[in-house]
């Protein structure tokens, strides 16, 4: 891959403290396994908004898949479908959502609500018509993070010939994605009014915001710091999860992304209260290395690894995983 693009995928904001801590936080945690629990027939199936998935590992929304592989987002969708899981299509996808939907599914659609409400509404309807089954609203980006690798390279835009195809308006012009610092909870109510799709809020770290999400009728939250690409110094997601899960109190699903690399990471996240996790960079790496098959194999490997860890920890299904199975090391 072009090293500038590789840095765009791998990099984080600022000093990359949060990027590193998302992974390092798992090194500070240990599993306290149960034994003699007769966990022979394990079952990893997970249902979200009425869709049954083969695994609690989903594909996080990430931008610009055509920079990783000529198959682009369609290849990722094909791989996710083969692994029996959801792909969240980024608003910054380099292929039209309709084309991605032909290649795979189930899909959810990630949205940065735009200041232009009419355009936002048309885009939501477009995602809905393409068959997307949930709307993932990213709320950790009132402004774009300062990714110093990109600043050093002067990487600001897609190369000629590539575009954010879902930002094309009626005239054929591709709009820039605007981060909206004026975004507030009122816009979640507005989205609720224009779509019947489940609404997932992505980028929750504070338990008070998790409580507000439930109060505003949101259907799920994703504990996320955008893979360390927005606020550098933000808390690692696995460290933020317990307080968020407690605030939500089982009223809606809590998902998590950031730094999930192994089945044991998934196990720890589920034990601490997540219903499912999402992976970003591991999918991009797999896409770059092996296209749709690479993505499929990556997701299957994570799932097999989780299954193995569950057997060793005495869990038959995700619901068996509880916070007492995780302790802070030291």
Ligand X SMILES: O=C(O)C(=O)c1ccccc1
Ligand Y SMILES: Cc1cc2nc3c(=O)[nH]c(=O)nc-3n(C[C@H](O)[C@H](O)[C@H](O)COP(=O)(O)O)c2cc1C
Stretch that binds ligand Y, among 120-128, 191-199, 279-287, 307-315 (CB under 6 A): 279-287
- Kindly tell me the sign of the dihedral angle through the C-alpha atoms of 245, 247, 252, 255: negative
Nearer of residues 6 and 312 to ligand Y, judged by Cβ: 6
Instruction: Count the Cβ atoms, other than its own, within 10 Å of residue 315.
Output: 24
Q: Is 9 near ligand Y (CB under 6 A)?
A: yes
Q: Is 110 near ligand Y (CB under 6 A)?
A: yes
Q: From CA 314, how far away is CA 311, in angstroms rounded?
A: 5
- Name the active-site residue from 65, 206, 226, 308: 226
- Kindly tell me the sign of the dihedral angle through the C-alpha atoms of 83, 86, 90, 94: positive
Choose which of 42, 153, 281, 317 interacts with ligand Y (CB under 6 A): 281
Environment class of 319 (CB within 10 Å of its CB; exposed 0-12, middle 13-18, buried 19+):
exposed
CA angle, residues 23, 24, 25, in degrees to nearest 5: 90
Environment class of 187 (CB within 10 Å of its CB; exposed 0-12, middle 13-18, buried 19+):
middle
If contact means CB under 5 to 8 A according to the sort of partner, which of ligand X, ligand Y, none does residue 257 touch? ligand Y
Q: Is 85 near ligand Y (CB under 6 A)?
A: no
Residue 262 is given by DSSP the state: S
- The minimum distance between CB 228 and ligand X, in angstroms, equals 10
Nearer of residues 39 and 258 to ligand Y, judged by Cβ: 258
Joined tokens for residue 113: 């609500």
Nearer of residues 165 and 320 to ligand Y, judged by Cβ: 165
If contact means CB under 5 to 8 A according to the sort of partner, which of ligand Y, ligand X, none does residue 256 touch? none
Q: Are 249 and 280 in contact (CB under 8 A)?
A: no
| Residue entry with tokens 């969240």 | 88
236-265: which residues touch ligand Y (CB under 6 A)?
257-260
Q: Is 18 near ligand Y (CB under 6 A)?
A: no
If contact means CB under 5 to 8 A according to the sort of partner, which of ligand Y, ligand X, none does residue 291 touch? none
Residues that bind ligand X (CB under 6 A): 63, 92, 177, 226, 229
Nearer of residues 31 and 163 to ligand X, judged by Cβ: 163
Known catalytic residue: 226? yes
Residue least distant from ligand Y (Cβ): 280
Task: For residue 68, give the nearest of 229, 300, 259, 295 by alpha carbon.
Answer: 295
Q: Which residues, at least 6 apart from 270, have a Cβ–Cβ distance to it below 8 Å?
A: 56, 276, 277, 318, 321
Residue 201-230 contact track with ligand Y, rule CB under 6 A, x = bound: -x---------------------x-xx-x-
If contact means CB under 5 to 8 A according to the sort of partner, which of ligand Y, ligand X, none does residue 139 touch? none
If contact means CB under 5 to 8 A according to the sort of partner, which of ligand Y, ligand X, none does residue 55 touch? none
Task: Reduce the DSSP state of residue 281 to 3 states and report it.
Answer: helix
Please identify every residue annotated as catalytic. 226
Binding site for ligand Y (CB under 6 A): 8-9, 22, 60-63, 90-92, 110, 138, 202, 224, 226-227, 229, 257-260, 279-281
């Amino acid at each position: 891959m072009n090293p500038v693009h590789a840095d765009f995928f791998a990099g984080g904001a600022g000093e990359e403290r949060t990027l590193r801590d998302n992974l390092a936080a798992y090194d500070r945690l240990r599993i306290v396994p149960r034994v003699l629990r007769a966990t022979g027939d394990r079952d990893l199936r997970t249902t979200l908004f009425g869709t049954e998935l083969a695994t609690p590992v989903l594909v996080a929304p990430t931008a610009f898949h055509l920079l990783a592989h000529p198959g682009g987002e369609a290849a990722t969708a094909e791989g996710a479908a083969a692994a029996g899981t959801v792909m969240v299509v980024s608003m910054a996808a380099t292929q039209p959502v309709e084309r991605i939907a032909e290649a795979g599914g189930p899909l959810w659609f990630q949205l940065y609500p735009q200041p232009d409400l009419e355009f936002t509404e048309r885009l939501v309807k477009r995602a809905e018509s393409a068959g997307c089954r949930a709307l993932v609203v990213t709320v950790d980006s009132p402004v774009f993070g300062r990714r110093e690798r990109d600043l050093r390279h002067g990487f600001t835009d897609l190369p000629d010939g590539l575009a954010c195809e879902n930002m094309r308006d009626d005239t054929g012009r591709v709009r820039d994605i605007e981060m909206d610092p004026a975004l507030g909870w009122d816009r979640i109510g507005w989205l609720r009014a224009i779509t019947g799709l489940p609404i997932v809020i992505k980028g929750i770290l504070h338990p008070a915001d998790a409580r507000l999400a439930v109060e505003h009728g949101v259907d799920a939250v994703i504990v996320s710091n955008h893979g360390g690409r927005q606020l550098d110094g933000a808390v690692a997601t696995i460290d933020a999860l317990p307080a968020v899960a407690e605030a939500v109190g089982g009223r809606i699903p809590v998902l998590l992304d950031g730094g999930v690399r192994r089945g044991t990471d998934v196990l720890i996240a589920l034990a601490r209260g997540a219903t499912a996790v999402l992976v970003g960079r591991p999918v991009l790496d797999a896409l770059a290395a092996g296209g749709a098959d690479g993505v499929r194999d990556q997701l299957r490997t994570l799932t097999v690894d989780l299954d193995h860890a569950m057997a060793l920890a005495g869990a038959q299904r995700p619901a068996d995983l509880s916070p007492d199975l995780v302790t802070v090391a030291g």
